[in-house]
A and B are shown apart, each in its own frame.
Chain A
Amino acid sequence: MAVSTVAGTAGTQPASLSASEIQTLKKNVATQASGLQSLESDFVQLKRLEFVDNAIKSVGKLYFKAPHHIRWEYTSPFSYYVIFDDTRMFVNDGGNTKNVNLASNALLRDINGLLAGTVQGDAIFDDKRFDIAYHRVEGSYRTTFTPKEKALARYIKQIEMTFDPSSYLVTRIKIVEPSLDHTEITFSAQKRNTRIPDEKFLAR
Chain B
Amino acid sequence: MRNFWLASLLIGFTLGGCRSYTHRFTPMDQAVGPFTPAFLDTAQFEHTFRARIDARGHGMTGIFVLKKITDNHYRMALLTELGGTILAFELANGTLHLHQAIEPLRQKPVLDLLEKDFLLFLQDDATIKNQYVHGTELVFETSTGDDRAYHYLRQSDGELVRTVRMVGARERTSVTYDYRHPTFPDITLSHRGGKLNIFLFLLHEDSDVETR
Contacts and interface: CB of A to CB of B under 8 A. Distances in A.
Interface of A: 45-49, 51-58, 72, 74, 76-78, 80, 82, 91, 93, 96, 98, 155, 175, 177-179, 181, 183, 185
Contact of B208 (A48, A56, A98): A56
Interface of B: 46, 48, 50, 59, 61, 63, 65, 67, 69, 75, 77, 79, 81-85, 88, 99-100, 102, 203-205, 207-212
A67 B69 CA distance: 47
Contacts of B100: 177-179
Interface of B is mostly: strand
A77 B210 contact: no
B62 to A, nearest CB: 10
Contacts of A49: 65, 77, 88
B209 A181 contact: no
Contacts, number: 83
A78 B82 contact: no
B17 to A, nearest CB: 40
A64 B50 CA distance: 26
A179 B99 CA distance: 8
Contacts of B84: 155, 175, 177, 183
B50 A181 contact: no
Contacts of B82: 45, 72, 82, 183
Nearest to B48: A56
A54 B77 contact: no
